[in-house]
Amino acid sequence: MFVDPEHASSSGRSRPQRHRSSHREIADELRSRIRSGVLRPGERMPTQAKLADEFGVERGAVRQALRILQSEHLLTGVSKGSPATVAAVPGPARPPAGPAAPPQPTMVGLAPRVAAAFAAPHVRIDALCLTSVSLTLAIGEPLRQIHAGRLKPAKIDVRLLLPSRDIDLAFPTPVDADDGGLLHRRWLAQRNAQGLVLRQNLLALCTTHGVDVRVSFRALPFTPPVKLYLLGDSEALFAYYTLGRREREIEDEHVELYDADGTRSMLFAFERWAGQRDAAFVEQSRLWFEALWETISSDLVLTP
């Protein structure tokens, strides 16, 4: 019987083959150990030889995984020589994720996660929402960190799916009578203004810091009942737009309307490395977003 040398013990007996992890899977597992406190700040990592043996891979795959974590500021001293060290401050603080993590108001949960996403060399953020208010606010802190020299991304890609100006919104909408388009005009002005601010602030990094920035918008033919934020391929943040009956003064008019406060919507966080449940949600959310982007959405121009 032929025995693969890679799966033979020193005694000559065969040993069971193990799943060969990819460098991204190794990075996910080690990241989880750092985030959960299994590997503590300042602690030396196992040697690359030990990690290669644990995951059943060549040392090159381990080094690739360690470099990913170093780029996220979770490790220091990654080299072919001595073991790396868990960073003293393992990346920007973020709320917990996973099945046991409680939901948080959007602006509480979104901002630190977006800031952490900006620690990567290539920042990728996709969002589906009614306006970009929450995202524009959340990006403010990492922009300040970039200008202060504490964050140095090389590339930023941001894509937003927003409702088309040409549809009748499901909300905000008047409770009883026709308002003559007042609420629609107000929403459209907010959508355009926030989108322009977001794009302008990010594109400014091209000239001030030489960052490769791309900001794209697409229009949806419906009012989204939920909001979704995707941070690369690793995180999905999800919230419901919960409607309520409200009274507001708009353009000197007293208006009763159905609306949702998106900045206070409870945000549920899912991370790909937090278990099968979270991994499946992140993957399906990514597929859903890409399908909308590539099929029924259309060009969106941020003009009145």
pLDDT the model gives residue 97: 61
**Please, which pLDDT band fits residue 146 given cuts at 50, 70 and 90?**
very high
Instruction: Give the model's confidence band at 3: pLDDT under 50 very low, under 70 low, under 90 confident, else very high.
Output: very low
Do 153 and 51 reside in the same domain of the chain? no
The answer to whether residue 113 is domain-embedded is yes
Per-residue pLDDT at 96: 62
Domain CATH number, residue 237: 3.30.870
Same structural domain, 138 and 31: no
Q: Please tell me the chain's helix, strand, coil percentages from 3-state DSSP, rounded to the nearest 5.
A: 40, 25, 40
Does one domain contain both 130 and 246? yes
Nearest to 73 by CA among 87, 93, 94: 87
Answer with the one of 50, 84, 118 that is the final residue of a domain: 84
Contacts of 115 (CB under 8 A, 6+ apart): 92, 94, 138, 141, 142, 145
Residue 2 is assigned to a structural domain of this protein: no
pLDDT of residue 2: 31
Is the bond into 172 cis (omega within 30 degrees of 0)? Answer: yes
Q: Please tell me whether residues 199 and 272 are part of one structural domain.
A: yes
Tell me which of 151-165, 166-180, 184-198 is least confident.
166-180
Look at residue 202 and tell me whether its pLDDT is greater than 80: yes
Confidence of residue 94 (pLDDT cuts 50, 70, 90): low
Q: Is residue 260 part of a domain?
A: yes
Taken in order 136, 225, 286, 38, the sign of the CA dihedral is: positive
pLDDT at residue 15, rounded to an integer: 43
In this structure, the answer to whether residues 66 and 184 fall within a common structural domain is: no
**How far from 154 is each of 125, 137, 158, 199, 200, CA to CA, in Å?**
14, 21, 14, 17, 18
Residue 68 sits in the same domain as residue 183: no
Whether the model pTM is above 0.75? no
Same domain membership, residue 167 and residue 107 = yes
Q: What is the pLDDT of residue 269?
A: 93
Query: Do 147 and 292 sit in the same domain of this protein?
Result: yes
Q: How confident is the model at residue 213 (pLDDT cuts 50, 70, 90)?
A: very high
Residues 250 and 111 in one domain: yes
Over residues 178-206, mean pLDDT:
93
Nearest-angstrom CA–CA distance, 10 and 3: 13
**Percent of the chain at pLDDT above 90?**
47
Residue 153, domain member (yes or no): yes
Residue 74: name the closest of 83, 85, 61, 62 by CA: 85
Ranges 55-59, 70-74, 138-142, 202-206: which has the least confidence: 70-74
> What range defines the domain where residue 48 resides?
21-84
Residue 5: the pLDDT is 35
pLDDT, one tens digit per residue, over 250-266 is 777 788 899 998 888 99
Burial of 125 (0-12, 13-18, 19+ CB in 10 A): buried
Q: Give the residue, 38 or 163, on which the prediction is more confident.
A: 163
Examine residue 9 and state whether it is found in any structural domain, yes or no: no
| Same structural domain, 73 and 125 | no
pLDDT at 77: 83
Cβ contacts of 8 within 8 Å, gap of 6 or more: 14, 15
The gap from C-alpha 137 to its chain's centroid, in whole angstroms, comes to 15
> What pLDDT shows up at residue 203?
96
Asked whether residue 289 carries a pLDDT value surpassing 90, the answer given is yes
C-beta neighbour count of 175 within 10 angstroms:
12
- Please tell me the distance from the alpha carbon of residue 198 to that of residue 217, in angstroms, as a whole number: 11
Closest CA to 262 of 238, 289, 286: 238
Q: Write down the pLDDT at residue 99.
A: 65
Check residue 223 and give its pLDDT: 96
Query: What pLDDT, in 10s, does the model give residues 42-85?
Result: 888 998 988 988 888 998 888 888 888 887 778 888 876 678 88
Whether residue 284 is contained in a domain is answered as yes
Model pLDDT, residue 255: 83
Q: Average pLDDT in the 102-125 region?
A: 90
| Residue 235 domain flag | yes
| Residue 205 tokens, joined | 């990094």
Cβ burial, residue 16 (10 Å; 0-12/13-18/19+):
exposed
How many separate domains does the chain show?
Answer: 2
- Please tell me the distance from the alpha carbon of residue 76 to that of residue 86, in angstroms, as a whole number: 6
Model confidence at 88: pLDDT above 80: no
For every residue of 46-62, DSSP letters joined together read PPHHHHHHHHTS-HHHH
* 94 inside domain: no
Collapsing DSSP to helix, strand or coil, 282 comes out as: helix
Same domain, 288 and 145: yes
pLDDT value at 25 more than 50: yes
The CATH number of the domain holding residue 33 is: 1.10.10.10
Examine the domain organization and report whether 187 and 227 are in the same domain.
yes
